[in-house]
Structure 1
Amino acid sequence: MLRVLIADDQDLFRAGFGLILDAQPDIEVVGEAADGEEAIAEARRLQPDVVLMDVRMPGKNGIEATREICATTAAKVLVLTMFDLDEYVYDAVRAGASGFLLKDIRRDELAHAVRTVASGEALLAPAATRRLLEDLVRRPAHGVAPRLAARLEALTDRERETLKLVARGLSNAEIAAALVVTEHTVKTHVSRMLSKLDLRDRVQAVVLAYESGLVVAGESDNEDRTCD
């Protein structure tokens, strides 16, 4: 049973999300919070698997709460907002969020999103993904920063190649086809890559790949690949 904490300053949204999720056979809403401070306290007390986090809340906002929850608990944070703005997408991901969705999603999409981030995968609304990548692309790449270079050096050639393809937005099946390996092998490469880089999920891997300069806007996938 997946345990979920809902953090939103609007009673209507908390009640609505709660009804949708409690109706699922494998999901249980274990608590609610009306602001960032309460969300942090409840996440530490309840130890949920997933926290649904609003962005705009009184006092400590959702981004700040996400940062503390990700740093002090094992909970995955799924950010929900009505505001599809660049700074929220980027800041949420940098704070450690595993997902970013708009509040107008369908009820079946909400349950799927909770299951997805709970399983360790990352999930971003298509518009949010596009905005995140556009923002990263606009940031100038001046080569790999020293602290990032040291982390990337821990990767094997194949793990580095896998990271590049993950950053391009390819699924495990697409990466398997590109590298001519099985999906199981890709999953192993992704898992080891995330572990070596001390990353929570694929979203953070995308951010690191662009920020480090490992992936540069305009490069083709063929340019990234190496021959076996």
Structure 2
Amino acid sequence: MKVLLVEDDQFHASYMEDVLVESLPEVTQIFHAANGLEAEREARAMAIDAVVMDLRMSQRNGIEAAQTLWQERADTRILFWSNYADEAYLRGISAIVPEDSAYGYLLKTAPHDRLRLALRAVLVEGQIMVDREIHRLQRRTASPRNTLDDSEFAVLVDLGLGLQDRMIAERRGMSLRTVQNRLLSLYDKLGVEDATDGDTPINKRVRALNRALVTRTLNVETLETAERDFEQWQAGRA
């Protein structure tokens, strides 16, 4: 089995290589990439079977690279390995993973034994495995009532791009009233209605983005990807 290790930190890359060699005798070759663009080239050139993928990297983040890999080879098994338990990452992964494909999401702080278990479960056995620690950290910053559905999240992303309601409606194929209803729902779920400063009015759109970033519902990588997608949409619209 050929494994591609995508990691821009040399310490983490060396550690993961050692664990791969120790844990998976099925691995015949380990290739390296320092960012998402390199990962796409290596996976394409070497017919990679399985990938260990960092999430925060320059020149295409892990989710963007994974999307390309899965588009070209849907049966590629990918273990995402990150310092961050952002809801935005888990949502982004869920949105791109092909049906019946194997993937995992593990924190870099996970114990050695859990890492070994995740590597075997995802890369060899083809299971889906999201570390319970990720769910635990998400529950710490979120409550069931503020979980966004897909359409609310799409409006939130466009809010982060600075789009006005009419542009969001056109981009997402919604009516203007639907966008405005989604905004009201966002304000409620993110706690904006309760976030007042005495009688001083607040900008609810800005406050919603603040809350989304604090709770890791959104992150910088998600907005960077959204910006590129928006530019492509504008080009097609023109």
Q: 1-side partners of 2:19 and 2:12: how far apart?
A: 11
3-state DSSP of counterpart to 1:63? helix
Q: For each residue in 1:113-150, what CA deviation from the matched residue of structure 2 results, as whole angstroms up to 9, or x when unmatched?
A: 122113221000113346499789823599xxxxxxxx
For structure 2, list consecutive stretches of 5 or more residues without a partner in the other structure. 152-238
- What pairs with 1:122-133 in structure 2 (closer than 5 Å)? 122-129=128-135, 131=138
Sequence identity (%): 27
Q: 2-side partners of 1:104 and 1:127: how far apart?
A: 10
Change (3 A) 1:138 1:10: same
Change (3 A) 1:141 1:18: closer
Change (3 A) 1:63 1:48: same
Partner residue, 1:36:
36
| Offset, 1:83 | 1.1
| Offset, 1:109 | 2.1
Q: 1-side partners of 2:113 and 2:27: how far apart?
A: 13
| Offset, 1:9 | 0.7
1:26 partnered with 2:31: no
Q: 2-side partners of 1:95 and 1:136: how far apart?
A: 25
Q: For each residue in 1:65-113, what CA deviation from the matched residue of structure 2 results, as whole angstroms up to 9, or x when unmatched?
A: 0111111123111111101111112112222271111001223322221
- What pairs with 1:118-157 in structure 2 (closer than 5 Å)? 118=123, 119-129=125-135, 131=138, 138-140=147-149
- What pairs with 1:208-227 in structure 2 (closer than 5 Å)? none
Contact 1:21 1:28 in 2 (8 A): no
Q: 2-side partners of 1:136 and 1:46: how far apart?
A: 45
Q: 2-side partners of 1:99 and 1:129: how far apart?
A: 13
Q: Which residue identity lines up with residue 12 of structure 2 in the other structure?
A: F
For structure 1, list consecutive stretches of 5 or more residues without a partner in the other structure. 143-228
Contact 2:52 2:79 in 1 (8 A): yes
3-state DSSP of counterpart to 1:23? helix
1:102 partnered with 2:107: yes
| Offset, 1:5 | 1.0
Contact 1:6 1:32 in 2 (8 A): yes
Q: Which residue identity lines up with residue 133 of structure 2 in the other structure?
A: A
Partner residue, 1:4:
3
Contact 2:17 2:30 in 1 (8 A): no
Q: 1-side partners of 2:77 and 2:3: how far apart?
A: 10
Q: 1-side partners of 2:119 and 2:38: how far apart?
A: 21
Is the deviation greater in 126-135 or in 72-81?
A: 126-135
Partner residue, 2:212:
none
Is the deviation greater in 27-36 or in 56-65?
A: 27-36
Q: 1-side partners of 2:70 and 2:145: how far apart?
A: 22
Q: 2-side partners of 1:90 and 1:136: how far apart?
A: 17
Contact 1:100 1:125 in 2 (8 A): yes
How many residue pairs are counted as aligned between the two chains? 141
Change (3 A) 1:29 1:135: farther
Change (3 A) 1:29 1:109: farther
Change (3 A) 1:135 1:56: farther
Q: 2-side partners of 1:122 and 1:108: how far apart?
A: 17
| Offset, 1:18 | 0.3
